[in-house]
Amino acid sequence: SFLKLFQNKTLGWLATATALQSFGDTVNLLDLNNIFLIKVLHYGPQELGHFATASGLSAAAGGRVTLHLLKKLQKLNVSALKVSTFFANSMWTAGMVSMGLARRTRHLSFAMFLWTFGQLRSNSLTTYLQTYGAAEGLGRAEIVVATANLLAYVKVLAPLLYSNLFSWAISSNNRPSGLPYFVIAAMTLLAQGSFVLAAP
């Protein structure tokens, strides 16, 4: 059960940050991205295919960027994981806001550029969960299973939340069609706040 991750304050805040970040995971955005691109940017199957390909390339590039950043930070003798988490969450937040405001392909491209630097924002949290979980007597596999159990709930809730938010947003001209992305941006900021409160 994921409740094992809430045995103490630090572990609990880290688990909360992980769950909040997961609301913005690419796999949880698939349906939202497609309906947003179809309804707002009027994309067809070909454009959707190009977007999917670009998203994959962004994720791959994000891995390289994150690894390079961590190496640089380690050489500077600073808390590499903390700085990289702040940087990645900041970029993902900016990317989500940009996506919500996108009305043309060039806007979308800029949003995706920002996403690249936040694709692996959960890596640092995973490391901290393992470290502090072990201190509470949890095994590595036990932490992995508990985390997966927690994120399984997010995978169910996120698409439902976004589809309802989007339907509500486009039902009136006075509401921003990018509202779900703004909510994701807010959740990412809350994730960063939870990470700070954990004080690992």
What span, in angstroms and rounded, lies between the C-alpha atoms of 55 and 61?
10
pLDDT in tens, 6-18: 989 999 999 999 9
Q: How far apart are the first and last CA of the chain?
A: 23
- Please give the model's pTM, rounded to 2 decimal places: 0.90
What span, in angstroms and rounded, lies between the C-alpha atoms of 17 and 194?
5
Q: Report pLDDT for 40.
A: 94
Instruction: Enter the tokens of residue 28.
Output: 């949880």
Q: Report pLDDT for 76.
A: 57
Question: How far, in whole angstroms, is CA 145 from its chain's centroid?
Answer: 20
Which of 148, 140, 198, 154 shows the shortest CA–CA distance to 1? 148
3-state secondary structure 29-44: HHHHHHHHHHHCCCCC
pLDDT in tens, 62-116: 777 777 766 766 665 557 778 888 988 999 999 999 999 999 999 999 999 998 8
| CA quadruple 23, 93, 113, 66: dihedral, nearest 10 | -80
Averaged pLDDT, 171-188: 94
